Structure 1
Amino acid sequence: MQPAIFNHDPAPTAKLEALLDSQFAQRELAVDDGRLAIREVGTGPAIVLLHGIGSGAASWLQVALALSQDARVIAWDAPGYGDSTPLAHPAPSAMDYAGRLLHMLDALGIETCVLVGHSLGALTATALASSQPHRVSRLVLISPARGYGDPARETQRQQVRAKRLQTLECLGIAQMAHERCAHMLSSRASSSALAWVQWNMSRLNPAGYRQAIELLCGDDLLRHAPLSVPCEVHCGEADAITAPEACHGLAKSLAASFSLIPDAGHASPIEQPIVVAGRLAHALKESLTGSAL
C-alpha cells in the first residue's frame, strides 16, 4: 500500500471513503445488550484497535490496511459510536467498556490479541489487559488519555467535564468537528489528514459522546495498574492534547517502554499511518516471540 494515496488528493475523503467501503467495510455483531459495529481486514494473529473520544473505527483505515498482510485487524466503533449500542449506565466506567470488548472478542473467537488503545481507547484497553491478562498478549497505548478519576484531579475533572459538555451543547457535532480537527494534528499535517480527522469526528453520536465524556472524567488509567502483560506507549512528538511528557510519565508508571512518533500530533494513526503500522507490526512480532520489555 502506497502512502501517496493519502496525500495531496483534491478530494481526500472521497477516496478514503471508497477505500473504507471496499476494503474495511463495517459489519455488526450481536452482543449481550444490543449490537456492536466493527471493521475487519486480513488474516493471522489478531490486532484489535480502539479509537479515541472524537473518532471511530474508520480512523484506523490506513493502519489496518498496512497491517492486513500479516494480521487479522479488527477495529470497533465503541459503545454509543456509529451503529454500536450505547452502554446501559449513563456514566460508564472503563470496565463497562471492557466488558463489551470482551463480548466482542468472544463473538469473534479471539482467544488472545495485541490490544491497541488510542487516546481514550487506552482506558478501555488497559482495563481489559488488567482484568483479563490472558486475553492480551501485548498492550500498545498511543497518546493515552489518563482520565480525571483520581480524587487529586477533582478540580480538573469538573473543568474538563463542564467544558466538553458545553462545547457539545453550544456547537453541536458538525461545528465541533470543524473547529477541533486541527488541534488533533501537527502543524505539518496534510490537508487530507485534516479532512479525514474532521470526517471521523463529524460522525459522532451525541449520546455516545456524552458517555465517553463521563468515562474520561470518571475513571483513571492508573487505577488499572500494575499490569502483568507487556506494555508500550507511543506519542506524537507534536501532541498538544496528551503531551509527550504526560505520556512518558504514564509509561513510567506502567513500567512500559516509550517512544515518540515523528511529525505527528494527537491523531498519529491518521497523520502518520505507515509509521504507526510499523510500530504495531513490531509489537505483533514481539508478542509472537514472547519478548518482554
Structure 2
Amino acid sequence: MLQTTDHLDPSLTADLEAQLGLNFPLRRLDLAGGQQALRECGRGPAIVLLHGIGSGAASWLAVAQLLGQRARVIAWDAPGYGQSSPLRSLAPDASDYAGRLGQMLDALGVERCVLVGHSLGAITATAFASGAQQQRVSRLVLISPAQGYGHPSRQAQGRAVRKKRLADLEHPGIQAMARQRSACMLSPGASPGDHAWVRWNMAQLNPEGYRQAIELLCGEDLLRQPPLSMPCDVHCGAADGITTPDSCQLLARALGASFSLMTGAGHASPIEQPYAVAGRLALAIEHSLTGASL
C-alpha cells in the first residue's frame, strides 16, 4: 500500500536540509539571461545533473554526496526553479533551456562533462547533447526520461496534460500538489523519509517556472532531436509508474542507448535509490574517460 504523505513529520527532512548547506551548497551566477542557481560539490571530471518537472537541484543531494568523492558534481535549478530566473518566453522550447545550460557551463568553466537528465530534464539534456555544443558532452545519461507530448500522435494527450497541470497549479496549488503527488513518484516500499524529501522538493516549486516547464513537457518531443554523437545510457526504476520501464526501453532503443532497470525504485530514483543511481553514474564517468561502452 502506498504511504500517505498528509501528516509526514517535518523532522524527517531537517537533517537533509542541513546537509544541503554543508555538503551541496547553493551558488548563484549572473548570466545574460538572468540569475542561474545551482548546487555543487566535489572535484574531478564534471557531471551535470538536470532534475525533473516536480523537483529541483536539492533532489540530487544523496547522489551528489556519493559522487563528489570522484567528480565535480553540478546540479542546476532549472530556469524558473529555486532562485533561477525564468526564461523570457512564456512557452519556451528545449533549445531555450539548452541555451541557458550552455551559459551556465561557460560561467563555470566546464568544457566537457557527463550530462544527466532525469524525467523532464532528459528533454533539455538530449537537446543540448544533439545541438551545436554537443562536443561538450562526453556521455549522455537519461534517468526515467520523459518523451514529451510534442509528437503529432501525442498532442491530444498533451493538451489534456497541460490543462490538468495548469488547473492543479491554481487549485489546489503547489503545497497540496506536493502532498498529493509525492506518493506517485516512489515505489510501494519507499520509506517515510523518501516521501518527505520528494514532498519537500516539490513544495519549493515556483509557479512561473512550473508553467514554463509544463509548456516544455507538452510542446516538445525528445525524439525530434538529431541523432546523438556520443554514447547514451537510459535507466529506469523497475516500479516507475510515470515513465514506465516499457516506455523507457522503447526510448532507449530509438536512441541507440543501453538500458537498465533499478530494483526498488519508482520515478524518483535519485531520492529512493541513490546508491544505485550513483553507481551507474560513476560507471558513466569512468567510461567517458576511457571511451569504453557499458
What TM-score bracket applies, with the shorter chain setting the length? Answer: over 0.9
Aligned to 1:84: 84
Kept after mapping to 2: 8 A contact 1:225/1:254? no
CA distance in 1, matches of 2:10, 2:175: 21
**Runs of 5+ unmatched residues, structure 2:** 1-8
CA distance in 2, matches of 1:32, 1:122: 24
**Runs of 5+ unmatched residues, structure 1:** 1-8
Aligned to 2:30: 30
> 1:48-88 CA deviation, whole Å, 9 max, x = no partner?
00000000000000000000010000000000000000000
Aligned to 1:130: 130
Aligned to 1:55: 55
Percent identity over the alignment? 67
Q: 1:1-293, aligned counterparts within 5 Å? A: 11-131=11-131, 132-292=133-293
Secondary structure of the structure 1 residue equivalent to 2:214: helix
CA distance in 2, matches of 1:21, 1:110: 23
Secondary structure of the structure 2 residue equivalent to 1:144: coil
Q: Deviating runs (4+, > 6 A) in structure 1? A: none
Kept after mapping to 1: 8 A contact 2:237/2:263? yes
Q: Quick check: 101-110 or 164-173, which moved more?
A: 164-173
What TM-score comes out, normalization by structure 2 length? 0.95
Kept after mapping to 1: 8 A contact 2:114/2:284? yes
Q: RMSD of aligned C-alpha atoms?
A: 1.0
Could you tell me which amino acid in structure 1 is paired with residue 114 of structure 2? V
Shift of 1:225: 3.5
Alpha carbons of 1:241 and 1:111: their partners in 2 closer, same or farther (altered >3 Å)?
A: same
CA distance in 2, matches of 1:11, 1:75: 25
Could you tell me which amino acid in structure 1 is paired with residue 148 of structure 2? G
Could you tell me which amino acid in structure 2 is paired with residue 250 of structure 1? L
Shift of 1:10: 8.6
CA distance in 1, matches of 2:205, 2:124: 18
Could you tell me which amino acid in structure 2 is paired with residue 151 of structure 1? P
Kept after mapping to 2: 8 A contact 1:113/1:135? yes
CA distance in 1, matches of 2:192, 2:11: 10
